[in-house]
C-alpha cells in the first residue's frame, strides 16, 4: 500500500503530464503506421525516452523498443508494454489531428496506449527516488498482424531478468475513467481458418453437369455454425466467424473453386485443440457427399490471455488507492485477442483496460470502427496507474 503522500505526488505529476500525453497521442494519431512499419513512431518514442534518461534499444523485432531505467539497489524488474501499430482503415472523423495517411488509422487506441506509457515514463523519472525496482518499457510493433511483435521481442531478450509485466489498453465499451480487470482467461485465442472447395465449373443452365462449389460453400458455412451450438459445451465460450467468401467470375458461370476465410476464438484450450478436427470433419463430410474436394488450413494465432491472480489483485488495489473503489470493475472475458498473452505465458503479470467510452463526447464507437474516438480526459489516469505500479 502506498502512503497518501506518494499517492498525492503521483496524481499531481500525472495531472501535470496530461497535456503532454494528449499532445503525444495526437501526434501518433496524425501519423499512424501499419504493423512492423512503425518507423517514425519508433523514432519519436526513442527520442522522448532518451531525453528522459532511459537506456534505449531500437530495432527490436524490426521497429520495437526496449527502454530501461536502472534503479540503485534494486534487485527486481517490472516491465510495461504498449503496442504501436495502426490499422488499414480509413478514418471518418473530422479532427484537426485526423490521420494524414490515407487508409491508415489508429482505430484501436494504440496511439493512446503509447502516449499513456510515455506519460508514465515522465512521472516515474520525477519519482525515481521512490522506486524499488528496475523499470523496463516495451514499445511493441505489430500487435494487429499475426504472428505479432511480442514473440520477436521475447526472442530478443525483452523479458530477460523481468519479474512482472503489465499492459494497459483503452476500451470504449467501458465508461470513461473506469478500469476493467479480471483474473484467469481474459481474452481469446485467435486462430484463422482457410477453406478451399474444389468443384467442377460449367454453365449456369446445366448445373447437373457441374459440381457447384458455391452451393457446397453455403452448406459448409451453415453446418459449421452447429459446431458451437451442438458439438461444444455451451459453458465454454467459443465463436466461429466466417468472414470472407470468394469465387466466380460471371452471373451465368458456375465456378470451379470457392474460398472461405474466417476465425475461431475461444477461452478454453481444450476447445481450441478440438476445433481443427471438428471443422475438418464437417468440411470433409459435405464435400464428399457432393463429389467435391477441399483444402483446409487451421492457422494457430495468439493463445488465450490468462491474467495472473496475484498481479490482478495488486493492480485492483492500486486503482482503488488512486481513484476510489468505484474506479474498477470486474469485467467479463472478451473474445477479442491480444499477443500480450505471449508475455503472460512466460512471466506473471496483468493486462488492464481503461474505459474511454463517453457518449456525450461522441466516444462511443467500438474498437476498429472508422468513427472510433476516445475521451482524452482520462489519459492521465492510465499513466498514473502505470507509475504507481513502478513505485512498489
Phi then psi for 358, rounded to 5 degrees?
-150, 100
Centre a 10 Å sphere on the Cβ of residue 214 and count the other Cβ atoms it contains: 15
Catalytic residue among 152, 166, 302, 380: 302
338 a catalytic residue: no
Q: 282: which 3 cell numbers?
A: 464437417
* Residue whose entry in the numeric block shows the C-alpha cell 506509457: 117
251-255: average pLDDT: 97
Residue percentage of the chain with pLDDT more than 90: 97
Structure confidence at residue 301 as a pLDDT band (50, 70, 90): very high
Structure confidence at residue 299 as a pLDDT band (50, 70, 90): very high
pLDDT for 132: 87
191-199: average pLDDT: 98
CA pair distance 41, 24, nearest whole angstrom: 10
CA pair distance 3, 10, nearest whole angstrom: 11
pTM for the model stands at: 0.94
Residue 295 pLDDT more than 90? yes
Residue 255 pLDDT more than 80? yes
pLDDT for 117: 98
Comparing 1-5, 123-127, 154-158, 289-293, the range with the smallest average pLDDT is: 1-5
pLDDT for 73: 87
pLDDT for 1: 86
Contact 350, 187 (CB under 8 A): no
Catalytic residue among 48, 338, 376, 380: 376
Structure confidence at residue 392 as a pLDDT band (50, 70, 90): confident
302 a catalytic residue: yes
pLDDT digits (tens, 9 = 90+) for 305-343: 999 999 999 999 999 999 999 999 999 999 999 999 999
Residue 241 pLDDT more than 90? yes
The C-alpha angle 192, 193, 197, rounded to 5 degrees, equals: 160
pLDDT digits (tens, 9 = 90+) for 71-96: 998 989 999 999 999 999 999 999 99
368-387: average pLDDT: 97
Structure confidence at residue 123 as a pLDDT band (50, 70, 90): very high
115-133: average pLDDT: 95
pLDDT for 59: 97
Average pLDDT, the chain: 97
Residues contacting 276, CB < 8 A, separation 6+: 298
1-14: average pLDDT: 95
Amino acid at each position: 500500500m502506498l502512503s497518501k503522500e506518494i499517492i498525492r505526488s503521483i496524481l499531481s505529476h500525472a495531472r501535470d503530464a496530461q497535456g503532454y500525453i494528449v499532445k503525444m497521442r495526437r501526434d501518433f494519431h496524425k501519423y499512424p503506421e501499419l504493423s512492423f512499419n512503425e518507423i517514425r513512431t519508433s523514432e519519436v518514442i526513442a527520442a522522448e525516452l532518451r531525453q528522459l534518461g532511459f537506456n534505449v534499444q531500437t530495432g527490436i523485432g524490426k521497429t520495437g523498443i526496449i527502454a530501461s531505467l536502472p534503479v540503485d539497489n534494486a534487485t527486481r524488474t517490472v516491465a510495461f508494454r504498449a503496442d504501436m501499430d495502426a490499422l488499414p482503415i480509413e478514418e471518418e472523423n473530422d479532427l484537426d489531428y485526423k490521420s494524414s495517411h490515407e487508409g491508415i488509422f489508429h482505430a484501436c487506441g494504440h496511439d493512446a496506449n503509447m502516449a499513456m506509457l510515455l506519460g508514465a515514463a515522465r512521472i516515474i523519472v520525477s519519482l525515481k527516488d521512490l522506486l524499488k525496482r528496475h523499470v523496463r518499457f516495451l514499445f511493441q510493433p505489430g500487435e494487429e498482424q499475426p504472428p505479432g511483435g511480442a514473440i520477436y521481442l521475447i526472442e530478443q531478450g525483452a523479458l530477460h531478468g523481468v519479474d512482472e509485466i503489465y499492459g494497459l489498453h483503452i476500451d470504449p465499451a467501458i465508461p470513461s475513467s473506469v478500469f476493467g480487470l479480471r483474473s484467469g482467461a481474459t481474452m481469446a485465442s485467435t486462430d484463422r481458418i482457410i477453406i478451399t472447395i474444389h468443384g467442377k465449373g460449367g454453365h449456369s443452365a446445366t448445373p447437373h453437369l457441374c459440381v457447384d462449389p458455391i452451393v457446397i460453400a453455403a452448406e459448409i458455412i451453415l453446418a459449421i455454425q452447429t459446431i458451437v451450438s451442438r458439438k461444444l459445451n455451451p459453458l465454454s465460450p467459443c465463436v466461429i466467424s466466417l468472414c470472407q467468401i470468394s469465387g466466380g467470375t460471371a452471373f451465368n458461370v458456375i465456378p470451379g473453386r470457392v474460398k472461405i476465410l474466417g476465425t475461431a476464438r475461444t477461452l478454453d484450450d481444450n476447445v481450441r485443440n478440438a476445433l481443427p478436427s471438428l471443422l475438418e470433419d464437417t468440411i470433409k463430410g459435405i464435400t464428399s457427399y457432393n463429389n467435391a474436394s477441399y483444402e483446409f488450413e487451421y492457422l494457430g494465432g495468439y493463445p488465450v490471455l490468462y491474467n495472473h491472480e496475484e498481479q490482478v489483485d495488486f493492480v485492483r488495489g492500486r486503482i482503488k488507492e488512486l481513484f476510489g473503489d468505484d474506479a474498477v470493475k470486474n469485467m467479463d472475458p472478451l473474445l477479442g485477442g491480444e499477443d500480450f498473452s505471449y508475455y503472460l505465458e512466460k512471466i506473471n503479470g496483468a493486462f488492464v483496460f481503461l474505459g474511454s467510452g463517453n457518449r456525450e463526447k461522441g466516444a462511443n464507437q467500438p474498437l476498429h470502427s472508422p468513427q472510433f474516438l476516445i475521451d482524452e480526459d482520462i489519459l492521465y489516469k492510465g499513466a498514473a496507474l502505470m507509475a504507481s505500479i513502478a513505485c512498489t
